Amino acid sequence: MYKPPFQSSSRKFISHGVYHQARLEATPQTAPLAGAMDVANRDVRTAALAVEEADGQVMRALALRDAANSGLDDLVSAFGRALLDHFGGDRGSALYQRLLPHGVSGINAAPPATEVKLVETLAAALAEAGLPDALRAHGPALIAGARQLAAAIAGYEQAMRERTLKTGDLQLAKDRWLTAYTRSYGALVQLFGSRTKAEPFFKATSTASAQDETAPAPAQD
């Protein structure tokens, strides 16, 4: 009796499980054994769908984080241009160096969480700097943009944690499936008194379909 390796895709588990369940149901003598396999199949299918949904939520949260990051980049760039214009293009002025010591790219090229902290520091310094109101007016927008990115980062991290939990649930469902599959084989051997008669109730490796691939590794975001 062939058992799908634990690392196989959920589709492979379901493919073999549905075949086995149908073979059990097709024979009156073995039909009572089909219930346990039905539960195991539905368990894996439900868990796999939950992982797929969680994957979608991760991608949505990632897109929202990246959009917020891009929006904050634009705000920082706009302030940088306005500040540079104020100093006549002189990046060497003391106040410009205090506010943007590494230029706009020093903030925009930072990782999202770091960018939030850098912008918060910039906004605080901007409020204390002796600058015209037109430049100081950039402060509230920078703070709002940083808060939006911080919220988007938190949403992405939560989606990642949820996907990890759902992936764990799928692993547990696979483990229960393998237990049910193995026990079913034992029950058939006991019923027929023969391994040879039990084997046909299980999908052979030679009938594996194109869907019987190894489960893909989680995407690296």
Q: How many CB atoms lie within 10 A of CB 21?
A: 23
Which pair of structure tokens corresponds to residue 213? 């691939």
- Give me the pLDDT at residue 44, please: 98
Model confidence, pTM:
0.82
Distance CA 115, CA 19 (A): 53
Phi, psi (degrees; rounded to nearest 5) at 78: -65, -45
Question: Would you kindly state where each structural domain of the chain is located, as residue ranges?
Answer: 10-207
Q: Residue 128's closest CA among 150, 98, 101?
A: 98
- Give me the pLDDT at residue 173, please: 99
Q: How many CB atoms lie within 10 A of CB 160?
A: 17
Interval 85-130: pLDDT, tens: 988 888 888 888 989 999 999 999 999 999 999 999 999 998 887 7
Please indicate whether residue 216 or residue 175 has the higher confidence score (pLDDT). Answer: 175
Mapped onto helix, strand or coil, the DSSP state of residue 5 is: coil
Distance CA 41, CA 93 (A): 69
Interval 40-86: pLDDT, tens: 999 999 999 999 999 999 999 999 999 999 999 999 999 999 999 98
What Å distances lie between residue 60 and 29, 45, 73, 158, CA to CA?
A: 50, 23, 20, 12
